[in-house]
Amino acid sequence: MRLWRRNATVKGERVGFVPTMGALHEGHLSLMRAARNECDRVVASIFVNPLQFAPHEDFGKYPRTFQRDLELMSAEGVDAVFYPNEKEMYPEGRESVTRVVPPCELADCLEGHFRPGFFTGVATVVAKLFNIVLPEAAFFGEKDYQQLLVVKRMVGDLNLPIQVTPVATVREADGLALSSRNVYLSEEERKIAPMLNRTLNFVKDAAQSGQLSLEAALEKGRADLKALPDVELQYLEARQADTFQPAAQFELPMVVVLAAKLKNVRLIDNVVVR
Ligand code: AMP
Return the pLDDT at 144: 98
Asked if 2-167 and 180-273 have one fold, the answer is: no
- Which CATH superfamily includes the segment(s) 2-167? HUPs (3.40.50.620)
Point out the residues that are catalytic.
28
Neighbours of 53 (CB within 10 A): 18
Return the pLDDT at 260: 98
**Domain-wise residue ranges, the chain:** 2-167, 180-273
Q: Is the pTM for the entire model greater than 0.75? A: yes
User: What residue's CA is closest to ligand 1, atom 8?
Assistant: 28
CA 28 to ligand 1: nearest atom: 8
CA distance 193 to 214: 23
User: What residue's CA is closest to ligand 1, atom 7?
Assistant: 20
Return the pLDDT at 165: 98
Cα of 126 vs centre of ligand 1, distance in Å, is 14
Cα of 185 vs centre of ligand 1, distance in Å, is 18
- State the average pLDDT for the chain: 98
Cα of 144 vs centre of ligand 1, distance in Å, is 7
Q: Is 160 in the pocket of ligand 1 (CB under 6 A)?
A: no
Q: Is 164 in the pocket of ligand 1 (CB under 6 A)?
A: no
Return the pLDDT at 104: 97
Residues with pLDDT less than 70, the chain: none
Q: Is 143 in the pocket of ligand 1 (CB under 6 A)?
A: yes
Cα of 26 vs centre of ligand 1, distance in Å, is 9
Give the architecture-level CATH label for domain 180-273.
Answer: 2-Layer Sandwich (3.30)
Q: Is 180 in the pocket of ligand 1 (CB under 6 A)?
A: yes
Strand pairing category for 231-240 and 15-20 = unpaired
Q: Which of 252, 240, 14 is nearest to 109 (CA)?
A: 240
Q: What would the pLDDT profile of 215-243 be if each residue is shown by its tens digit? A: 999 999 999 999 999 999 999 999 999 99
Burial 231-263 (b: 16+ CB within 10 A, else e): bebbebbbbebeebeebeebeeebbbbbbbebe
